[in-house]
Amino acid sequence: MTIRSLLPLLASCLVSSLAAAEFKVGLIGLDTSHVTAFTGILNDPKAKDFVPGAKVVAGFKGGSPDIESSWSRVEEYTKTLREKFGVTIYDTIPELSRQVDVVMIESVDGRPHLEQLRPVLAARKPVYIDKPVAGTLRDALEVFRLANEARVPVFSASSLRFAKNTLAVRGGAIGTVTNAWCGSPAHLEKTHPDLFWYGVHGCESLFTIMGTGCLSVKRGTTADGKIEVVGKWTGGRTGTFREVEGYKGRAEGTKGAMDVGAYDGYAPLVAAVVKFYETGIAPVSPQETIEIFAFMEAADESKRRGGAEVTLAEVIAKARQK
């Protein structure tokens, strides 16, 4: 048998090997457009932003009866996953967990995330938790405590974290960042602290650029009455979140300045999630995610105190006491 005649067989073996190496993904919470968008990126090799290495095969509906944008959409997204992508829908999270290698918790409502995570940790499946990681700072702390206790890799992030310019600045493109602002829409949802629901996107961009080390925040308003939160970082650095239309920002550093905070699509996030499944190494530390949520909780506390300065250490300590 010649080498040429062996090529089709070798190619077939390679494809089979790659297919076997795909992670089987389970989605928990089918009430957000992210579930169909992420599934398209992972399951459709013809998609322009296709990310190989994982395939969505299972889903659990979830849904929150007190949030209209949740209960009104869950059946629509479930139908798309089932009919377009052949995803099997399971009645319980333990059932789903037995059928998959890895999990994405996608519920648009952050409040059920902690309870949805528990059976996944028991099944020892690596987990990506979509924003917000939880509905309260207390629950966010508990998410990472339980994951550490179970020794199961877990991380949470917004897609805004993985925008090209934002990552470039984090990587040192303009030296040490001394001052930055990032903005996003900040639609409110009465069941969540103000910035947890949507402002988290701009806050995630801000922390991607500034890193950890935020000490305190003061909440006020912009000239047109929108939310503005100014944070003090170690080393005298300043980072600001602003409620704006779209996704944007600007960072100044010791070697120049750059526009930041853009939205570059979902594919960079999905690729980071697949790499996380492959390596077991989270691209965002628990410390940084906790600090983001402490920043947002401190912003609410500052609002309650009429714009007074509030430390992150204070709100974290309070959350741990409850």
Whether 122 and 268 map to the same domain: the answer is no
Angle between the 312-321 and 137-150 helix axes, to the nearest 10 degrees? 70
Instruction: Give 58-112 pLDDT, tens digit per residue.
Output: 999 999 999 998 999 999 999 999 999 999 999 999 999 999 999 999 999 999 9
Joined together, the tokens standing for residue 277 give 């499944």
| Total count of residues recorded for the chain | 322
Question: Is 136 part of any domain?
Answer: no
Q: How confident is the model at residue 254 (pLDDT cuts 50, 70, 90)?
A: very high
Query: Is 9 inside any structural domain?
Result: no
pLDDT, tens only, 296-311:
999 999 999 999 999 9
What are the CA-CA distances from residue 151 to residues 223, 234, 303 (Å)?
47, 31, 37
- d(C-alpha 147, C-alpha 33), whole Å: 26
Cβ 154 vs Cβ 130: under 8 Å: no
Q: What is the mean pLDDT of residues 255-268?
A: 98
Residue 13 has pLDDT above 80, yes or no: no
What's the CA gap between 199 and 296, in Å, rounded? 9
Kindly state whether residues 94 and 187 are assigned to the same domain. no
The answer to whether residue 169 is domain-embedded is yes
Domain shared by 235 and 169, yes or no: yes
User: Does residue 150 form part of some domain?
Assistant: no
Would the CA dihedral through 132, 270, 176, 183 be positive or negative? Answer: negative
Distance CA 40, CA 47 (A): 7
E strand segments, the chain = 23-28, 54-60, 88-90, 102-105, 127-130, 154-157, 177-184, 214-221, 227-233, 238-243, 248-253, 256-259, 310-311
d(CA 169, CA 257): 9
Q: Is position 149 within any domain?
A: no
Whether 20 shows a pLDDT value over 80: the answer reads no
Shared-domain flag, residues 92 and 241:
no
Of 47-56, 65-74, 125-134, the range with the lowest mean pLDDT is 65-74
CA 101 to chain centre: 19
Asked if the model's pLDDT at residue 18 lies above 50, the reply is no
Tell me the CATH number at 280: 3.30.360.10
Residues 187 and 314 in one domain: yes
Cβ contact 173:105 at 8 Å = no
CATH code for position 25: 3.40.50.720
Query: What's the pLDDT score for residue 12?
Result: 41
Q: Count of domains in the chain? A: 2
Residues 89 and 187 placed together within one structural domain of the fold:
no
Examine the domain organization and report whether 176 and 275 are in the same domain.
yes
Note whether 207 and 297 are same-domain residues.
yes
Residue 229 main-chain phi, psi, to 5 deg:
-125, 120
Q: What is the pLDDT of residues 171-224, one digit of tens each?
A: 999 999 999 999 999 999 999 999 999 999 999 999 999 999 999 999 999 999
Section 263-290 average pLDDT: 98
pLDDT grade, residue 248 (50/70/90)?
Answer: very high
Q: Are residues 107 and 185 located together in one domain of the fold?
A: no
Q: pLDDT (tens digit, 9 = 90+) per residue, 133-177? A: 999 999 999 999 999 999 999 999 999 999 999 999 999 999 999
Residue 125: give the domain boundaries.
20-130
The answer to whether the CB of 201 falls within 8 A of the CB of 184 is yes
Is residue 19 pLDDT above 50, yes or no? no
pLDDT score for 69: 87
